Structure 1
Amino acid sequence: MTDSRAAWPDDAWWQRYGDPQLDRLMDEALQANPSLRIAAARLRQAQALAGVADAARAPQVNATVKSMRQEFSANSTVPKPLAGSWTWLNDASVGFSYELDFWGKNEAALEAAVGRTKAAEADAHAARLLLTVSVVQAYLKLDQLHAQLELAQATLTQRGEILRLTRDR
């Protein structure tokens, strides 16, 4: 059985043409295209959200440390010898939690986030491919038009020469 998934073309597939001018145009198009930057940002966002979904499946540990200096008022209900004195109130705590995913909520959230990441990655590849194909098509069309112009100019020169020869007879 064969794998039916199609592979994306190489990132620099147009370099097979061996045209340095096309390479420069493509570099400029890839660097200046806002759609590619947006697609890349969406991919990074999806990857970050997948990381958050993956982190929800792991144990959570937190620690806090607090220290505070407090003065007991001499005119309050605090008895002597504490009344009018300063003291330090220190607190340290460590917490640990782990959510048992009996019904697969966290696993499903991770699978959905991974799916969104793959979709964003495909969108980014598609945006890049669409841009590169458009640039190559425009470049080849321009090259074709230049060739047609050269041919038309050569034909015009040749017909002018034929006209001159015909008149000279």
Structure 2
Amino acid sequence: MASRGLLELLGSGPAATAAGIAASIGVVFGVQRLVPTMDPTWYKSLKKPSWTPPNYVFPLVWIPLKTMQSVALWMVCSKAKSVSSLALPLAAFGVHMFLGNWWNVVFFGRRQLEGSLPWMYAFWASIAASAASFYPISPVAAYLMLPTQVWVTIATKLNWDIVQINKGKA
């Protein structure tokens, strides 16, 4: 049984594919809902670099990124040769989900600008770890993580610049 793909164990066909992608989307978007809604007026009051994207850009970017992450997660789960081969990819992905949400809590919820930087760096590294752990199972899934890596690189630079511009603010 270890050589059979998980998709074989769970069933195959269009219905199983749709259910698997829906479950992955539920996980990726659902975990984000665990983070409390933050007060947007505080962020608006911060000084930001001139290159800061307008606020409406963030959801426009994150929705497709989270959708690609969902498909990547489904691909890895459906192509894995065994449940045990999923341990590292799922752990890396779980850490990446946790760190992305925790950064939001630290930056927006606790308003700890400087304190958010180590979490952002760890978040960035966890996305790279997710992609690297996905690659042996599904190179396409790993490549689907790369746009998130690019966006979080931009977000890390923005986080750094906001910290520098607002030194001494809570």
The normalised TM-score by structure 2 is: 0.28
Q: Which has the higher helix share?
A: 2
Structure with more of its chain in strand, by fraction: 1
TM-score normalized by structure 1?
Answer: 0.28
